[in-house]
Amino acid sequence: MKRIETDLPGCLVFEPVVHEDARGEFYESFNHAVLAGHGLQPRFVQGNVSVSRRGVLRGLHYQWPNPQGKYLSVLEGEVWDVAIDIRRGSPHFGRWTAVLLSGQNRRQFWIPEGFAHGFVALSDRVVFNYLCTASYDPAADASIRWDDPQLAIDWPVAAPQLSAKDAAAPTLADIVADRLPLYEPSPHALPSDASWDRR
Ligand SMILES: Cc1cn([C@H]2C[C@H](O)[C@@H](COP(=O)(O)OP(=O)(O)O[C@H]3O[C@H](C)C(=O)[C@H](O)[C@H]3O)O2)c(=O)[nH]c1=O
């Protein structure tokens, strides 16, 4: 598993080893021991799949309380995927990073608790697959405008298709502080001296 740093601390990309043979291919979509070797020990409690057409944008979403760490990948198609640090007190508050995830690059994207997340579909059909470290809590489900001028996210699609919820989302500046996640060390970060299988 190759680790790729992003320009937003805490958000990491992993590229699995792909085993190809005459039948096709095999790769691990998640491996606890491998992530532990990179200092992460996420405990996933829910898996989600969404299917989107080209131009659909889902986001920007987060949960607070009950924030969700997410481990994201694309099984079919391609997305431009964005994570934003919205944790009150974070030195990186309001900063975002973007990663191209596709069935072709098989990249897996870890976004810690307290970040907002969204993606836009760049192919005719996208099958988006992800694991979450907390269960869905409709009462804690929250959104931020995809085109928030303060965030100035450089989306590659000018007029995406949005859900009514996302079209009506507030800007970050309009969200009262106690509705934003608190900056706290990820519960899944291992002590730096943890000796784990470092495959
Ligand atoms: C998230 C979720 C939704 N639902 C139900 C609620 C609605 O009836 C329907 C669609 O929900 P929503 O429009 O919130 O789905 P997305 O726009 O794909 O939301 C997700 O998109 C962004 C990219 C995320 O990172 C979040 O995981 C999540 O917010 O599924 C569930 O039953 N369980 C769930 O965990």
pLDDT band at 198 (very low <50, low <70, confident <90, very high): very low
Known catalytic residue at 183: no
Inform me whether the pLDDT recorded for 194 exceeds 60.
no
What are the structure tokens assigned to 76, written together?
């079919």
pLDDT tens-digit map of 44-97: 999 999 999 999 999 999 999 999 999 999 999 999 999 999 999 999 999 999
Q: Tell me the whole-structure pTM to 2 decimals.
A: 0.93
141 alpha carbon – ligand 1 mean position (Å): 9
CATH entry 3.40.30.10 includes domain 2-19+26-179:
no
Nearest Cα to Cα of residue 69 among 114, 108, 7: 114
Known catalytic residue at 61: yes
Which residue among 38, 130, 136, 188 is the active-site one?
Answer: 130
pLDDT tens-digit map of 171-192: 999 998 889 999 987 666 665 4
Does the C-beta of 67 come closer than 6 Å to ligand 1? Answer: no
Residue type, 151: L
All structural domains of the chain with their residue ranges: 2-19+26-179
Report CA-CA distances (Å) from 138 to 11, 142, 162, 168, 189.
Answer: 25, 8, 19, 16, 26
